[in-house]
Amino acid sequence: MLTLEEAQAALRARITPAAASETVPLRLARGRYTSAPLTAAVDNPAFDNSAMDGYALNHAELVAHGFRLPLAGESRCGAAPQALQPGTAMRIFTGAPVPIGADTVVMQEDVERVGDLLRFPEATVVGDQVRRRGEDFRAGEALYPAGRRLEPHDIALLATAGVATVPVVVRPRVLVVATGDELVAPGEPLAPGQIYESNRLATLLLVEALGAEAVDGGVVRDDPAALRVLLAGAMDYDFVITSGGASVGDHDLVKQVFGEIGKIEFWKVKIKPGKPVAFGRLGPRTHFFALPGNPVSSLVTFKLFVEPALAAWHGSASRPLEVPAVAVNGFKRKAGRMEFLRVRLENAGGELRAEVLKGQGSHQIGTLRHTQALLRVPAESDGFDAGARVTVLPL
Ligand code: AMP
Ligand code: MG
């Protein structure tokens, strides 16, 4: 049995990164991974501009004229202003270009009108309220390395930088399948012994949220022949993810059939929930995961294994985020396996607090209503008391 770290290392070593990339417009780039470094096309700010509504002036002239200047002209957004007439101040608005000849802006709230003159505070400092061209980033500057997942704020930044299209790694094709004779689609009547299928649905949505193309492979019966047909037809996917049938019961055939058709790299990890989780290869292209059937185990193992695997496939080294927190309540157990507890988070005066929820059985999906993170209990730990420092993985 591998530890979580060993299994994750084995995983990274066995993922063949995507070879192909494509170019997409910004509007479609969310959640995609860059396949090449991205650089700025223009400076930001693009020109010296005002941080405030106020008056643009030349500081040396301001001092020379005893902090009183007449008003002349206006600079508004979207147009180049005239040059500043010597010995005057120009009306200016937030984001409008600072005129040639001006080096300082005074915000309107600080300016008094005395007859035809504007009176400025003597504390005015040269360069005040001017956003300098290129002070954020410069044209040609590297903005993102290859392998970065683009979020909406990244897209906003790229738009600002004059980038219209981005080279991204192609989306992986991911086949998602549930296994089990007991599984029925929600909406159908339940016969005795049947339950509603949920893992496949959750996995499809999680895969999509990671920027991949999720393909619904439906529910496969606990029948080796049906599983062989499925896997034999799955070789043109980048990933195949099944749930259920991965342990050692008589009807848990997934691991067995995976072993026949592909190569299993590991199938037992010392974690709770999620001990029976298989990872391996199926032909030259396809990576497979056999996740456990219990809905919570399937979600936890997706987070711990599939998420980093998809990142590695995209050429990204990112790992699930882990943050320190303080336990609201204690938790006792027998040491042995690393364990992941479902917790609710609260922010108490800048400190993150994690409450271990009631109902930690891996079949107890009801607990997910309140779950915001997984609390990681180290293998050698026999639990913790209220107030203890713990580590959580936000979901
Ligand atoms: P298994 O790993 O196939 O032994 O399944 C473990 C438990 O998870 C059993 O109670 C199954 O009924 C349940 N289960 C398996 N697959 C799913 C699924 N796709 N949706 C909901 N429950 C499932
Ligand atoms: Mg089953």
Least confident window among 133-142, 148-157, 232-241, 309-318? 309-318
Rounded to the nearest whole angstrom, what is the distance from the C-alpha of residue 379 to the centroid of ligand 2? 27
115, pLDDT greater than 90: no
Task: Give the confidence band of 193 by pLDDT, cuts at 50, 70, 90.
Answer: very high
Least trusted range by pLDDT, from 43-52, 87-96, 227-236: 227-236
Question: For residues 250 and 43, which has the higher predicted lDDT (pLDDT)?
Answer: 43
In the chain, the percentage of residues whose pLDDT exceeds 70 is 100
Report pLDDT digits (tens) over 244-290.
987 777 777 898 899 999 999 988 899 999 888 999 999 999 999 99
* 265 CB near ligand 1 (under 6 Å): no
Q: Which pTM value belongs to this model?
A: 0.88
**What ligand is nearest to the CA atom of residue 180?**
2
How many residues make up the chain in this entry? 395
Peptide bond connecting 273 to the previous residue in cis, omega within 30 degrees of 0? yes
Sign of the alpha-carbon dihedral angle for 32, 265, 14, 225: negative
Asked whether residue 200 carries a pLDDT value surpassing 80, the answer given is: yes
Tens digits of residue pLDDT in 309-359:
999 999 988 888 899 999 999 999 999 999 999 999 999 988 999 999 999
pLDDT digits (tens, 9 = 90+) for 46-92: 999 999 999 999 999 999 999 999 999 999 999 999 999 999 999 99
Please give the share of the chain, as a percent, with pLDDT higher than 90.
90
Q: Which numbered ligand comes closest to the C-alpha of 248? A: 1
Average pLDDT over residues 167-187: 96
Beta bridge partners of 215: 175
pLDDT at 87: 97
What was the pLDDT predicted at 3? 95
- The residue to mutate among 176, 177, 199, 268, having the most atoms of ligand 1 within 8 angstroms of its beta carbon, is 199
pLDDT reading at 128 higher than 80: yes
Residue nearest to atom 10 of ligand 1 (CA): 294
* Rg of the chain (C-alpha set): 30
130 close to 98: Cβ distance less than 8 angstroms: yes
Q: What is the average pLDDT score of the chain?
A: 95
E strand segments, 110-172: 112-114, 117-119, 130-131, 142-144, 165-169
The DSSP bridge partners found for residue 309 are none
Q: How many CA atoms lie within 13 A of 249 on its CB side?
A: 9
Segment 182-205 mean pLDDT: 97
CA distance 62 to 74: 18
Is 178 a pocket residue for ligand 1 (Cβ < 6 Å)? yes
Residues in CB range of 55: below 8 A, 6 or more apart: 69, 71, 89, 90, 91, 92, 105, 106, 108, 111, 118, 120
Q: What is the pLDDT of residue 262?
A: 94
Assess whether the C-beta atom of 252 lies below 6 angstroms from ligand 1: yes
Please report how many Cα atoms fall inside a 13 Å half-sphere around the Cα of residue 133, on the Cβ side.
11
Helix pair 224-232, 254-261: axis angle to 10 deg: 40
DSSP 38-59: EE-SS-BSSS-EESSSEEEE-H
